[in-house]
Chain A
Amino acid sequence: MLKTPPELTGRQPPTTGTPMPALRDIFLGFFSIGINGFGGVMPFARRMLVEQRHWLSEEEFIDALSMCQFVPGPNIVNMAVIIGARFQGKLGSLAGVLGLMIAPMIIVIAAYTLLVQVADNPIAIGAIRGMSAAASGLVVALALKVGMPMLRRKYVSSLIFTVAAAVAVGIFRLPLLPTLAVLVPISIVTQWRRA
C-alpha cells in the first residue's frame, strides 16, 4: 500500500523521478498499449507504465488497478483516465483514452470491412468458423482460471453464486440487471457473515 496516496488529479510528477509526462507522451504511451495489447491489455499496460516509462512504481500500478476494478467500466480505459489525470489533468485523461482507443478502433473496423468484402469466400468463412471456435475456448479458459482460486480456498459458499449467475444468465438468459440486483447483495452478505 502507498504511504502517501497520490491525489487523483493535479499535476503530480512521477514518484519514480521520471520527468513529468507531457500530453504527447501520455497519448503515445497509451497508443503503444492499444496496438500491442493482443488478448488482454493489462499486462502491456503494466510493462509500459512501470517497466518502460517508469511513470508508476509497482505499488502505484497495483493501487491504480484495484481502483479501476472498483469503478465500473472497462478497466484499461479507467486506467488511462486516472493516469492521464494525475499527470496532466482533464486533458491528460483525454490524451490517454484517445491514444488507447484510436488505433485499435481503426484496425478492428478495417478488419471487419475487409471481412465483409470476402464474406462469400469459403476460405474466409472457414477461417472465421475456426477462429470463433478457438476464441470461445479462450473465454471458457478465462472463467476456469479466475474460478479456480475459489475452489482451492474452499469458497463453497461463494461458488453457489457463481453457479447461480451462470445458470440465470447463461442458460435461462435472464436480463443482467435484475439478476445482479438479486445475487450481488446476497453474495456480499454471505461473504460478510463468513468473514
Chain B
Amino acid sequence: MNDLIDLAALFAKIGLVAVGGVIALIPEIQREVVEVHHWMDLRSFSTLFTLAQAAPGPNLLLVTLVGWYVAGLPGALVATGALVIPPAILAYSLGNLWHKLKGSPWLATVQAGLNAVTVGLIASAGILLVRASYVSIVAGMLAAGSVLILMRTKTHPLWLLGAGALLGALGLV
C-alpha cells in the first residue's frame, strides 16, 4: 500500500514537470526509483527502459513497467494513471487559455528557454543509459553504432534494437 502511495506521488509530480517528453525525465525517474526508493538496481531499470522502447506505444510505458515491477497490476495502473491524469485534466481545461496565448512572442521565448534545458535533460538520459548498458566493449560499440546510423540514415530504430538483440543472443555483447 505504501508503495502504491509512493508511486502515485512520484509520478504525479513527474507528470506535471514533463514539458520535454518522458525521455527527458528518465534521469529523474531513475534517481527516484533506484537511488531514493531502492525499488530496483540500475541494470533492471535499464532493462525496463529497453522493453518500453521495443514495445509499440508511447515512451511512457517505462512508467507502466516501473509500476508493475514495484507493485504488480495495481502498481502499473497507479503509476500510469498518476503520470497521465493530472496533465490530461490540464490539457482539457487549458484549451481556451492556449488559444489566447498562441502566437504571442513571449510564449515562443518561454518555449525556446525551456527547449535549451530539455535538450540537456535528454542528453543526460543518454549518458545515464549508455553507462547502465556499458557491459562490454562491444556494447559500447553497439551504442555508438546506433547513434551514427540514426544520425546518418533514416533507419527505423526497431532494426537497431533487433540487431542488438541478435548480437546479444549470439553471446557477442
Q: Verify if B9 is at the interface (C-beta below 8 Å from A).
A: no
Residues of B within 8 A of A131 (CB): 50, 54, 161, 164-165, 168
Closest to B96 in A: A8
| Selected contact of B120 from candidates A101, A111, A162, CB within 8 Å | A162
Q: Could you say which interface size class chain B belongs to?
A: 35 or more
B28 beta carbon closer than 8 Å to chain A: yes
B56→A109 contact, CB < 8 A: no
In the complex, which residues of chain A have a beta carbon less than 8 angstroms from the beta carbon of B109? 188, 191-192, 195
Interface centre among A108, A112, A192, A195 (most CB of B within 10 A): A108
A residues within 8 A CB of B116?
150, 155, 158-159, 161-162, 165, 187, 191
Residues of A within 8 A of B22 (CB): 74
A81 touches B91 (CB 8 A): yes
Q: How far is the CB of B66 from chain A (nearest CB, A)?
A: 11
A143 with B158, Cβ < 8 A, contacts A37-B57, A188-B110 known: no
The contact string, 1 if C-beta is below 8 Å from chain A, for chain B 89-105, is 01110111011011101
Whole-angstrom distance between the Cβ of B68 and the nearest chain A Cβ: 6
| Interface membership of chain A positions 109-135, coded 1 if the CB is closer than 8 angstroms to chain B and 0 otherwise | 101100100000011111111111111
Least Cβ–Cβ distance between A130 and chain B, in angstroms: 2
Instruction: Considering the complex, give the chain A residue whose CB is closest to the CB of B54.
Output: A131
What 0/1 pattern do residues 34 to 74 of B give for CB contact below 8 A with A? 01000000000011111111111111110011001100010
CB of A22 within 8 A of chain B? Answer: no
Please report the C-alpha to C-alpha distance between residue A5 and residue B94 in the assembled complex, in whole angstroms: 14
B131 and chain A: residue at smallest CB distance: A136
Check if A141 sits within 8 Å of B51, measured CB to CB.
no
- Closest CB in chain A relative to B16 CB, distance in Å: 5
Q: Which single member of B59, B88, B110 contacts A81 (CB below 8 Å)?
A: B88
Contact A126 B170 (CB under 8 A): yes
State whether B119 touches A146 (Cβ < 8 A).
Answer: yes
Chain B positions within 8 Å of A163 at CB level: 120
Interface residues of B (CB under 8 A from A): 13-19, 21-23, 25-28, 31, 35, 46-61, 64-65, 68-69, 73, 76, 80, 83-84, 86-88, 90-92, 94-96, 98-99, 101-103, 105-107, 109-130, 132-136, 138-140, 142-147, 150-151, 156-158, 160-161, 163-173
Closest 9 CB pairs of A and B: A73-B87, A104-B57, A130-B168, A8-B95, A170-B124, A165-B120, A137-B146, A188-B113, A134-B164
- For the complex with contacts A104-B57, A141-B146, A169-B28, 6 further pairs of A-B residues with Cβ separation under 8 Å are A73-B88, A101-B57, A127-B168, A132-B50, A135-B53, A158-B112
> Could you list which residues of chain A lie within 8 angstroms of chain B, going by C-beta atoms?
1, 5, 7-9, 34-41, 63, 66-78, 81-82, 85, 90, 93, 97, 100-101, 103-105, 107-109, 111-112, 115, 122-147, 150, 155, 158-159, 161-167, 169-171, 173, 175-177, 180, 183-184, 187-192, 195
